[in-house]
Amino acid sequence: MLRVGYPLTLPAELLHDFPEEIALIAIPDDPDHVIEIDVWIPDFFPGRACRQWPHLRGVRLVLSMIAGVEWLPALVGPEVTICNAHGAHNVPTAEWVVTAILAVLKQFPFYLEVQHAQQWKRRFEAGARYATITGDARALYPPVMLEELTGKSVLLVGYGAIGKEIERMLTPFRVDLVRVARRARLDPKVHAVSELDSLLPNAEIVILILPISPQTHGLIGKQQLGLMRQGALLVNAARGPIVDTGALVAALQSGRMRAALDVTDPEPLPQGHPLWSCPNLLLTPHIAAASPQCAPNAVRVVAAELRRYLRGEPLRNVVQPGALTALRS
């Protein structure tokens, strides 16, 4: 019988989603003995998973419950097959992106300050904030107190499952969407990432939702931030190292752009780091996918992969083939 190790922290009611033909073995946060398993489902938090790994033996297949698995190959080695949880967290992550964009454009962080200060008339400060960040110094009446998302030009950098869900959610806003991926495509039209520098100056909103890799590490640096138009909004729900943190801090402190981040580099972001106090920044601590549906959705993806494996079918979400997949192909 296939031995499947799962995190002890996983709610018991979710175990019913797994195939009956397997032996489920609970892995505690800090094991004190060797545990023999064939398939490993790591904890959601990499730190816990890294503490568990030295105690595991016999692992041939890793089924992650998260999409970002860049840390796993170095941990388990090249012989182990790794699958990610492709598709499990599309909706909450896409919702975070749209929410973050709207929160920035509607100046909600500022209006939260107004609420706490209990000073109604401070709302008129919003117009000056808008003029400073966008460079739009027109004498507008009534005063500007927020912006509209509808009709804005959006550059979507990353066109996988989450990117497509973001596009679906942005459709009612009738944005002018330009898609970017690793390679160019025709239907729908997708630009290659090599064209990024030529596309940045036209975008009012730039969304990053692509995996971290040697090619995407530092993709957005000083040059790219400098190409972005006055008042542009950079949204990163991918991985922190895709953006050069020092360059982003400098760009935000200059007052010429704004950002919404769910991920940072370094991460966790240490107390006192300059990002915490940057102007025109909305920052959340890597929580975009952490809805009540997070674990159930992830377990469904993992369980479906397990069923395919038991039936001898190709695995869908392979990110590292390993010896297992090579032998089956």
Give the catalytic positions in this structure: 239, 267, 286
> pLDDT value at position 329?
41
Mean pLDDT of the chain: 95
Structure tokens at 83: 């699958």
- How many Cβ atoms from other residues are within 10 Å of residue 39's Cβ? 24
Is the predicted pLDDT of residue 21 greater than 50, yes or no? Answer: yes
Nearest to 50 by CA among 78, 31, 24: 31
Q: Measured on CA atoms in the order 53, 59, 60, 63, is the torsion positive or negative?
A: negative
Is the predicted pLDDT of residue 92 greater than 70, yes or no? Answer: yes
Answer yes or no: pTM beyond 0.85. Answer: yes
> pLDDT value at position 5?
97
Strand partners, 154: 177, 205
Nearest to 237 by CA among 210, 277, 274: 210
CA atoms in the 13 A half-sphere facing the CB of 238: 27
Q: Could you tell me if 268 and 285 are in contact, meaning their C-beta atoms sit under 8 angstroms apart?
A: yes
CA distances from 45 to 28, 41, 287 (A): 13, 12, 12
Domain boundaries, the chain: 2-88+293-328, 90-106+147-283
How far is 192 from 183, CA to CA, in rounded Å? 5
Task: Give tens-digit pLDDT for 299-323.
Answer: 999 999 999 999 999 999 999 998 7
pLDDT-derived band at 325 (thresholds 50, 70, 90) equals: low
Average pLDDT of 54-76? 95
- How many Cβ atoms from other residues are within 10 Å of residue 286's Cβ? 17
Q: What percent of the chain has pLDDT over 90?
A: 95
Task: Give tens-digit pLDDT for 180-226.
Answer: 999 999 989 999 999 999 999 999 999 999 999 999 999 999 999 99
Residue 173, judged by CB atoms within 10 A of its CB (0-12, 13-18, 19+), counts as: middle
Is the predicted pLDDT of residue 42 greater than 50, yes or no? Answer: yes
Average pLDDT of 277-300? 96
Residue 156 phi/psi, 5° resolution?
A: -100, 105
Q: May I ask the CATH class of domain 2-88+293-328?
A: alpha beta
Q: What is the CATH number of domain 90-106+147-283?
A: 3.40.50.720
pLDDT-derived band at 23 (thresholds 50, 70, 90) equals: very high
Average pLDDT of 37-64? 96
Instruction: Check if 2-88+293-328 and 90-106+147-283 are the same fold.
Output: yes
Is the predicted pLDDT of residue 326 greater than 60, yes or no? Answer: no
Task: Give tens-digit pLDDT for 146-186.
Answer: 999 999 999 999 999 999 999 999 999 999 999 999 999 99
Average pLDDT of 1-8? 96
